[in-house]
Amino acid sequence: MSLKIQAALFDLDGVLTSTTEQHFQAWQMKIKEVFNVDVDPKYETLTRGVSRVESLRILLNAVNIQADEQTIQTIAHEKNELYKELIEHFDESHLLEGVTELLQLLKRKGIKCALCSASKNGPTLLKALKIEDYFDLVIDPSSGPGKPDPYLFLEAARRLNVEPQACIGFEDAISGVKAIQSAGMFAIGVGFEPLDFADVHVYSLTKIDAAFLEGLTREDHGVPPQTLIHDDHSSFEQLKVDETLFALSNGVIGFKGSFAEGYGKDDLPQTFINGFYNFIPYHYEENSIHFPQVGQTMVNVLDGSAMHVFVNQHPVDLTHCRLVSLHREYRLHEGCTQRVAVYEIEKNHIITIKEERLVSRSTPHLIVMSLNIESNHQHDELLIKSMIRLPQVKQGSSMDPRLAKSISHLEFVSSNLHEEGATLRAKTMASHLECEIGMTHSHKGNYRLENESVVAEFKTTLHQAFHLTKYVVLKASHLDEEVSCLSLLSDLQPYSYYKTIQRFDFHSFVSAHRVMTSREDINLALHFNLTHLYGSGGVHPHIQIGAKGISGEGYEGHYFWDTEIYMLPFFALTHPTQAKNLLAYRHHTLGFAKEEARKLGVNRGAKIPWRTINGQEASPYYPAGSAQVHINSDIAYAINQVYVLTHDDHFMKTIGFELMVETAIFLLDYGHFNETGFHLDGVTGPDEYTAIVNDNAYTNKMAQFHFNRVVHFAQRPEYRVLFEHIGYTQDDLDELKKAADHMYFMIDKQHHVLAQDSTFLSKKVLDLTTIPKDKRPMLLHYHPLFIYKHQVLKQADTILGCVLLPLEDQEVFKNSLHYYLNITTHDSSLSKAIYGIAAYRLREDTLGQEAFEDILKIDLKNARHHTQHGLHLANIGGSYLLVMYGLFGLVINEDVSFHPQPLTTFEFVSSRIQIQGQWLDLRLEREMFSLRSEVLMSVRVGQDTIKLIPNTWTMVKVSKP
């Protein structure tokens, strides 16, 4: 969809003003007068868009009256006289909502307007409505054939001297929509009866605003559409995995890809609202008041996914029928999923269920499900039971810390039934958060309360296909929302509108990143990843991104450092506002982080919780949790990235700098100086198979950079003032500087590597060949003490430090990569992307490529066997980092720089990023690195600063070392 709109062609009646009633009333009166017959109002729609005489023929035919040509002409004429009387009082107050605004907008944009009405009264009405000046042209309906013939519209295009492809047409009648479409134009249906044929339908023209027109005119971003297709229905396990892969999310709502009709048994449809949690009790045998006493868990919220299908009272699902075939698609470029399930309910009796879903980006409360049901038999009795209900609760518990506990968290509060829809309210039992769900449908249903569910029933005899669209709205108290679900329900537009807007949104999203490689399979996997990442968060400053996004309950829905280090760069480079929201969440919860610092015995500053939803530390196991004080610097690192990429001082002054300072002060006080330098003792680095150590190199490297950045900012007077305003002094700045200058690191003499910590390299090396495959991940099979006393890594630690803050000494970097890689299990999905980046940077392309291919399989191929509990969002972010940090060698520290190496494993890789609001296109082909921007811009490539001429590719030869 990329239109260059030059003309807007309007129907009149039903689009600009509402004369339907007057037209029809005039017909009824005349026909009654002449033939003494009442015309049923149901025939009204047949006359829409149809010429005067033709309308009369249709109506007479409908009531079985024959009339000669002379009579027809006379009645038509008299009807018109009557009609003119009925509209005599029309003035601008009779314009439909949004008309004036739209005409003004079109005028401003230089888009020409023409009237293409079948009505001969067009000019009179335009005048009465006082909009005639907006129209460049009125087509005379008697000059050619009427709608659905495209004549009126084609004639308008011809006379305006515009190509039909550059026209949009507005119509309220099917005949008109067909005319627009056969003219090869974009058809916008208007009015309360959705027209299935229109390219998009809106209830009122108010929805056609500047953003909408912009959406239609978006230029092509050159990235081919990507669709994930699955046809596998071999196992229930695969269906559960697919629920995650085909999950839809918009940053707030996560809606898993269950079947509307259900599975017949063992259904556990899941819907999440980001940041909506319940408290769960923690029990320690040896408690401490400094441990978190309660945990938080993301809650499966009220369920609106069920639309159970019965044909002749026979349930249609895979338990009660034979599933003949299943086809699902994730249209990544459109932000919607489609599924076709073919069931055999009895021999040769086939029911086909087609379901389309979207979770709206533009209307963040909204889920739309559209169901189409077909039978190969005639006269089937179809019943659809559509529900909103409390979530289903799964039984059983697990020893696996990566999985969520399974207990019920919600209790029923109230329900509200209306003719057009219903709502249900529930609250969490311990955290007392409220959520509300509402539903309505494209057809009138009857809504009733059944236990604690609301059920709406739709009955029909199935002749051809039956189509039912369900609109589900969800809201929750933690997001401070005022609107009630009922008012959301009353403000809905037809499905096609949301679908179109969704396409616009996803077009912009793809336009913003434009990640492409020469490998199609990799492109699909990358786009799959980025779609999920985009939908995981960053849309609201009070919520963040969980380790599983909102695609599953794994890790209890907690936010970790994963967000800032692995995911945030994507947002910072392509959607900076979302990146700022992610950090705004940390600022919003800074109070809790200060409390946590006190619990850890530090009287100043803030300690970001290791895992949390509401901002309070929820890690019950401090050695691999709270001890990871590096999270403070991870957040500072991300703040710095956002600043370097945006130069947004407002963000920095209201959010970024305070966070950076408070987290630095904590680390300054947590650590200490001695004769060998500044040390951070009793910490755990990113690698969780090594706990509570001194001088973890990653932690120290990150803290050093962190402290230096605080000092750097504080050199500017306004930040200096802010620093003092936050509560710190020149002495503190001096100390930060001193700590950074004297940060302790150890280069091991024997292996010539950067030592992971002060004792790591003297521990016993664990021979990984002695650890059988079925004993992985090790954390589930070995006591932590066994793991901790060995040289064995769960994930990249020192190497991550070297990737984020490149070492000068390439030899140490190379040695370190191989040394640590050898003892790494990659039991964490956060591991391989980082080693892959390091490998690409060191020109070990085979190793880099291997890592790349591996990490792309983690969810798509369920390589870790628990994708059903959610996607591995950090790994997903890592796949983007592999492209940006790895292949392009992007470093965002003091400035933005690229250090690409010759490309050997792809023909090309390309992408687009945003620097200070300006787009920068990147392309790497073999030994040629090309950059292009729309404005004059200087970019650092290696040691050189390159000046870019606007809109011109600048090529840089990538040298072989």
Interface residues toward ligand G6P, by CB under 6 A: 13, 23, 47-52, 55, 80, 117-121
| H or E element in which residue 326 lies | strand 322-331
Q: CB of 137 within 8 A of CB of 112?
A: yes
The answer to the question of residue 11 lying near Mg ion (CB under 5 A) is yes
Pick the closer one to ligand G6P by CB: 55 or 440.
55
Sign of CA dihedral 121, 127, 130, 131: positive
Catalytic residue among 11, 242, 380, 921: 11
Sign of CA dihedral 899, 905, 908, 914: negative
Pick the closer one to ligand G6P by CB: 58 or 768.
58
DSSP, collapsed to helix, strand or coil, labels residue 230 as: strand
DSSP, collapsed to helix, strand or coil, labels residue 816 as: helix
User: CB of residue 121 vs ligand G6P: minimum separation in angstroms?
Assistant: 4
Which stretch in 48-56, 577-585, 589-597, 607-615 sits in contact with Mg ion by CB under 5 A?
Answer: 48-56
Runs of H (alpha helix) within 690-809:
697-714, 717-726, 730-741, 784-788, 798-804
Pick the closer one to Mg ion by CB: 118 or 433.
118
Pick the closer one to Mg ion by CB: 14 or 164.
14
d(CA 66, CA 53) in angstroms, rounded, equals: 14
d(CA 85, CA 78) in angstroms, rounded, equals: 11
Q: CB of 216 within 8 A of CB of 208?
A: no
Tell me, residue by residue from 13 to 32, as one string, x for binding to Mg ion by CB under 5 A and - for no binding.
xx------------------
Q: Between helices 657-670 and 717-726, what is the axis angle to 10°?
A: 60
Which stretch in 8-16, 547-555, 636-644, 874-882 sits in contact with Mg ion by CB under 5 A?
Answer: 8-16
Which residue of the chain is nearest Mg ion when measured via CB? 14
Question: 562 touches which of Mg ion, ligand G6P, none (CB within 5 to 8 A by kind)?
Answer: none
208: which strand partners?
A: none
d(CA 739, CA 677) in angstroms, rounded, equals: 7
Question: 23 touches which of ligand G6P, Mg ion, none (CB within 5 to 8 A by kind)?
Answer: ligand G6P
- Is 40 tagged catalytic? no
Q: CB of 536 within 8 A of CB of 250?
A: no
Pick the closer one to Mg ion by CB: 13 or 355.
13
| H or E element in which residue 436 lies | strand 434-441
The 3-class SS string of 25-72 reads HHHHHHHHHHHCCCCCHHHHHHHCCCCHHHHHHHHHHHCCCCCCHHHH
Q: Phi and psi dihedrals of 791, rounded to 5? A: -85, 95
The answer to the question of residue 146 lying near Mg ion (CB under 5 A) is no
908: which strand partners?
A: 925
User: CB of residue 153 vs ligand G6P: minimum separation in angstroms?
Assistant: 13
Q: CB of 859 within 8 A of CB of 832?
A: no
Pick the closer one to Mg ion by CB: 13 or 199.
13
For residues 192-221, b (16+ Cβ closer than 10 Å) or e, as one string?
Answer: ebbbeebbbbbbebebbeeebbebbbeeeb
Q: Which of 44, 155, 172, 662 binds Mg ion (CB under 5 A)?
A: 172
d(CA 581, CA 251) in angstroms, rounded, equals: 11
User: CB of residue 50 vs ligand G6P: minimum separation in angstroms?
Assistant: 5
Question: 106 touches which of ligand G6P, Mg ion, none (CB within 5 to 8 A by kind)?
Answer: none
Runs of H (alpha helix) within 438-494:
485-489
Which stretch in 164-172, 530-538, 738-746, 941-949 sits in contact with Mg ion by CB under 5 A?
Answer: 164-172
Rounded to a whole number of angstroms, the CA Rg of the chain reads 32
Q: CB of 641 within 8 A of CB of 569?
A: yes
Residue 80: count other Cβ atoms within 10 Å of its Cβ: 17
Which stretch in 169-177, 455-463, 507-515, 554-562 sits in contact with Mg ion by CB under 5 A?
Answer: 169-177
Which amino acid is residue 490, in one-letter code?
S
CA separation, residue 496 to residues 170, 171, 319, 464, 501 (Å):
15, 15, 32, 21, 9
Catalytic residue among 13, 172, 199, 757: 13
CA separation, residue 279 to residues 406, 447, 612 (Å):
13, 33, 11
Q: Phi and psi dihedrals of 878, rounded to 5? A: -60, -35
Question: 118 touches which of ligand G6P, Mg ion, none (CB within 5 to 8 A by kind)?
Answer: ligand G6P
Specify the length of the chain in residues: 961
Pick the closer one to Mg ion by CB: 15 or 351.
15
Sign of CA dihedral 863, 866, 870, 875: negative
Pick the closer one to Mg ion by CB: 198 or 298.
198
Pick the closer one to ligand G6P by CB: 50 or 636.
50
Question: 364 touches which of ligand G6P, Mg ion, none (CB within 5 to 8 A by kind)?
Answer: none
Question: 459 touches which of Mg ion, ligand G6P, none (CB within 5 to 8 A by kind)?
Answer: none
Pick the closer one to ligand G6P by CB: 80 or 930.
80
d(CA 713, CA 718) in angstroms, rounded, equals: 9
Pick the closer one to Mg ion by CB: 49 or 364.
49
User: CB of residue 27 vs ligand G6P: minimum separation in angstroms?
Assistant: 8
d(CA 456, CA 369) in angstroms, rounded, equals: 15
Residues 919-958 that bind Mg ion (CB under 5 A): none
- Is 767 tagged catalytic? no
DSSP, collapsed to helix, strand or coil, labels residue 513 as: helix
Pick the closer one to ligand G6P by CB: 13 or 735.
13
Q: CB of 880 within 8 A of CB of 851?
A: no
Question: 51 touches which of Mg ion, ligand G6P, none (CB within 5 to 8 A by kind)?
Answer: ligand G6P
Question: 52 touches which of Mg ion, ligand G6P, none (CB within 5 to 8 A by kind)?
Answer: ligand G6P
d(CA 933, CA 295) in angstroms, rounded, equals: 48
790: which strand partners?
A: 764
Which residue of the chain is nearest ligand G6P when measured via CB? 119
Question: 474 touches which of Mg ion, ligand G6P, none (CB within 5 to 8 A by kind)?
Answer: none
Pick the closer one to Mg ion by CB: 51 or 496.
51
Note the residues at the interface with Mg ion (CB under 5 A): 11, 13-14, 49, 172-173
Question: Which positions are annotated as active-site residues?
Answer: 11, 13
